[in-house]
Chain A
């Protein structure tokens, strides 16, 4: 499957598009994709979060502006951007300003290689999966820089917690993903999606697809838990932990800087949902014609997002030491066991 810029070039009549055209098309397409991602995840995300959490917690939530309060999205955007930007005296200036951009940037970079269905994929490098993990890990840099540059003790504590969390859970995350790579035999994300196209078993009229989530639900569970920690959501939201350390690394951020952090966090939730969908839920696969792919893809990542909100509403937050214990002593061991078992099974069968 060709990536979107290449496909568009072919449609325009270029068998081998020149480099300049590829760059231009990539810029246009990524512009479109970024806009779509921003509006769906970062704008609809917080709105959905409020409505979903309200449902979990027996409330009504926003309902004044427009149907189901949908126009609050616009009101919120104006409000957040028009707020005063307060920079603390003790802030480490260039670092304090750079940090908020790093978080959303790393998430958006990650989206570049995700096959979103309906032919939408900006790039499809051979090392796609490794690339996603690499760029999404840059987010930790943003948290550390932001937390440290704020000159606030709560920020410092929060950033230290976030880093500890990232390190502890990045390894199980990658190791679990590696078991999928063993099954698919490729790091290229489009190959991984393609490998999940068949049918696993047919139970009468219901055909269970060969998604790796069905093939190896254990790995899916591991990956889900590790992603929760990776994006810092309950029970692992200790990086922000409002009732303990006020806001963690975003304590001192206000106005547009706050929006960037906020946006980055939501994008990261959606990115980790997208990776999970690609690895375990067949990517954009679903019933109906192929052009519906983006819809199915959207449904799946929103389902994962819903799951994170469910956890937030119902699960207590663990302590830092308990979180590290779960990561290093539990998930790491389990993910390696999963990898070894998968390797043996793949080796025996193939």
Chain B
């Protein structure tokens, strides 16, 4: 909502009879925050407190310690005609339906806002991105540099004054040799791992300081694959032009999971109800994607440990190929599926349906044998255990500090899965388990992914059963959605789904037109990667490489 509007008392959320525990008492929170709060706004997902720019740390630490909002899911920055705004989207790891947003407006002349980094470590990178792309300065931030764009970039591309046509000319003096500062005086050695390195799974650059073989410090340098995804989404119409982009974020076969993130947020924004049949189809296809993505993660992780394109990598690829073929049958594409539509899916299951179901069932029936084979080859291998057990450890508290989600968080014992905790689609009605493990090491992360594959198979099994029985005249694949969608002006919403790598969230602010005014992507890989130094310091280079593999990052999603 615009700032000029008075807070609407009636807008306070009515208790949901189905889940009374999931209600946040915003009045109590406002009292708790005291005079830090300037006013209240209402976003579609939660209430937002507008907080003074010099009281951010106060407000956030109060919310964190006294109200239990221990998950800084995302930080959105944007520029209005009269001000800059940072929005901190807070949740609880115990119950992500309890949300609150902290909105920090700053003037355009002097966009300085207090950093949230001392309260939430994860704010470090998020605020660097806000500085980089929008141009807000964060006071008290430990290391406010550009993160996605090169150091020499001029201007902030998501700001209103940014001239996109002006060429970026880098003066020679600015383009100094980063190695001019020689490190040979000391006992340590700086090694640049990447951006072209066999272990970085894409274009990632790890600045690593070594003492012998021991990693003293590592700093991920990202942005090599930055493709202005947010800006591209902002220049597309809600109805059709945005949906193809999510496929290109996490391109490790997780396309439909990403599409669902956009579908969920856009459907909430536009009040679209998805027919039940379409939800079942979505659930099934999304879980197929999850299996494919996890198999890829398993294969590449083992590639890092084994050191070559060895048996286990090829076996994982072989099984992923089966899923890939099923998805191709379903969507017509191998990777860039573009299968979901607002209000449903683009088309029904392929005909003849029996054949499709038979293929899926054949895969599901065969899967337990495959999983056993993986356990034989990998998890029960002593050498493998030697390498992975107890390396790359991160405990639950640290992981929460970094906003870690997905299999990485669950392997550290954080029982957090949006499919169950913030239900969407058809997951509520199905019988499956959230997998957790207490190890917090590379081994646990692998185990969690392998077990999640089995759970996804359970979900698919139930979906196939349902779809087979579905009466032919009730197979509604799409709700009735207007050709052009113009959401309420100044409506703001942040919604997340459980992607393959964790919590994939999208924030949209509408300005009443058919295109979003701000489209912010919360990438799980971005947050998970930020925890890498925490996990790798003091370990050996091979462990650093293994840990990076176990985080299962896709650079397309990190850099967006």
A322 cross-chain contacts in B, Cβ below 8 A: 386-387
Contact between A313 and B540 (Cβ–Cβ < 8 Å)? no
B199 cross-chain contacts in A, Cβ below 8 A: 243-244
Give chain A's interface residue range (CB within 8 Å of chain B): 20 to 34
| 8 Å CB interface, A9-58 against B | 53, 56-58
B273 cross-chain contacts in A, Cβ below 8 A: none
Contact between B542 and A313 (Cβ–Cβ < 8 Å)? no
Q: Mark A229-242, 1 if CB is under 8 A from B, else 0.
A: 00000110110011
Give the complex CA separation of A314 and B310 in angstroms: 7
| 8 Å CB interface, A40-95 against B | 53, 56-59
Q: Is A316 an interface residue (CB 8 A)?
A: yes
Knowing A157-B213, A235-B383, A318-B383 are in contact, say whether A242-B306 is a contact too (CB < 8 A): no
Output the nearest chain B residue to A154 by Cβ-Cβ distance. B191
Contact between A319 and B307 (Cβ–Cβ < 8 Å)? no
Contact between B213 and A317 (Cβ–Cβ < 8 Å)? no
Q: Is B377 an interface residue (CB 8 A)?
A: yes
| 8 Å CB interface, B355-396 against A | 377, 381, 383-384, 386-387
Give chain B's interface residue range (CB within 8 Å of chain A): 20 to 34
Give the complex CA separation of A47 and B384 in angstroms: 28
Q: Point out the residue from B213, B311, B383 that lies within 8 Å of A58, measured CB to CB.
A: B311
Q: Is B189 an interface residue (CB 8 A)?
A: yes
Q: Point out the residue from A58, A246, A313 that lies within 8 Å of B197, measured CB to CB.
A: A246
Knowing A57-B310, A237-B307 are in contact, say whether A242-B383 is a contact too (CB < 8 A): no
Q: Is B15 an interface residue (CB 8 A)?
A: no
Contact between A320 and B213 (Cβ–Cβ < 8 Å)? yes
Contact between B198 and A243 (Cβ–Cβ < 8 Å)? yes
| 8 Å CB interface, A277-324 against B | 312-322
Q: Is A245 an interface residue (CB 8 A)?
A: yes
Give the complex CA separation of A59 and B309 in angstroms: 11
A314 cross-chain contacts in B, Cβ below 8 A: 310-311, 377
Q: Point out the residue from B197, B305, B315 that lies within 8 Å of A316, measured CB to CB.
A: B305
Give the complex CA separation of A245 and B527 in angstroms: 26
Most chain A CB within 10 A, of B305, B307, B377, B381, is at B307
Q: Is B493 an interface residue (CB 8 A)?
A: no
Knowing A58-B314, A314-B377 are in contact, say whether A244-B541 is a contact too (CB < 8 A): yes
Give the complex CA separation of A235 and B199 in angstroms: 18
Knowing A242-B198, A313-B310 are in contact, say whether A319-B387 is a contact too (CB < 8 A): yes
Give the complex CA separation of A59 and B377 in angstroms: 18
Most chain B CB within 10 A, of A235, A245, A246, A316, is at A316
Contact between B306 and A234 (Cβ–Cβ < 8 Å)? yes
Q: Point out the residue from B307, B313, B318, B384 that lies within 8 Å of A241, measured CB to CB.
A: B307
Q: Is B303 an interface residue (CB 8 A)?
A: yes
B47 cross-chain contacts in A, Cβ below 8 A: none
Contact between B191 and A315 (Cβ–Cβ < 8 Å)? no
Knowing A57-B313, A58-B315 are in contact, say whether A318-B307 is a contact too (CB < 8 A): no
Contact between B315 and A319 (Cβ–Cβ < 8 Å)? no
Q: Is B468 an interface residue (CB 8 A)?
A: no
Contact between A243 and B314 (Cβ–Cβ < 8 Å)? no
B302 cross-chain contacts in A, Cβ below 8 A: 316
Most chain A CB within 10 A, of B308, B381, B386, is at B308
Give the complex CA separation of A340 and B303 in angstroms: 41
Shortest beta-carbon distance from A86 to chain B in Å: 15
Contact between A315 and B308 (Cβ–Cβ < 8 Å)? no
Q: Is B545 an interface residue (CB 8 A)?
A: yes
Output the nearest chain B residue to A315 by Cβ-Cβ distance. B383
Q: Is B543 an interface residue (CB 8 A)?
A: yes
Q: Is A329 an interface residue (CB 8 A)?
A: no
Q: Is B304 an interface residue (CB 8 A)?
A: yes
Shortest beta-carbon distance from B377 to chain A in Å: 7
B384 cross-chain contacts in A, Cβ below 8 A: 316
Contact between B311 and A244 (Cβ–Cβ < 8 Å)? no
Give the complex CA separation of A57 and B309 in angstroms: 8
Shortest beta-carbon distance from B378 to chain A in Å: 8
Contact between B377 and A245 (Cβ–Cβ < 8 Å)? no
Shortest beta-carbon distance from B37 to chain A in Å: 51
| 8 Å CB interface, B538-560 against A | 540-543, 545
A157 cross-chain contacts in B, Cβ below 8 A: 191, 213, 541
| 8 Å CB interface, B220-272 against A | none
B313 cross-chain contacts in A, Cβ below 8 A: 57
Q: Point out the residue from A59, A154, A234, A316 that lies within 8 Å of B314, measured CB to CB.
A: A59
Contact between B189 and A312 (Cβ–Cβ < 8 Å)? no
B377 cross-chain contacts in A, Cβ below 8 A: 314
Shortest beta-carbon distance from A10 to chain B in Å: 49
Contact between A317 and B542 (Cβ–Cβ < 8 Å)? yes
Give A residues with C-beta under 8 Å from B: 53, 56-59, 153-154, 157, 234-235, 237-238, 241-246, 312-322
- Offer 19 A-B interface pairs, CB within 8 angstroms, sorted by A: A57-B310, A57-B315, A58-B311, A58-B315, A58-B318, A59-B314, A157-B541, A235-B383, A241-B307, A242-B308, A243-B198, A246-B198, A312-B310, A314-B310, A316-B383, A316-B387, A317-B307, A317-B542, A319-B543
Q: A154-B191, A313-B311 are in contact. List 4 more A-B contacts (CB 8 A).
A: A157-B191, A312-B308, A316-B307, A316-B383
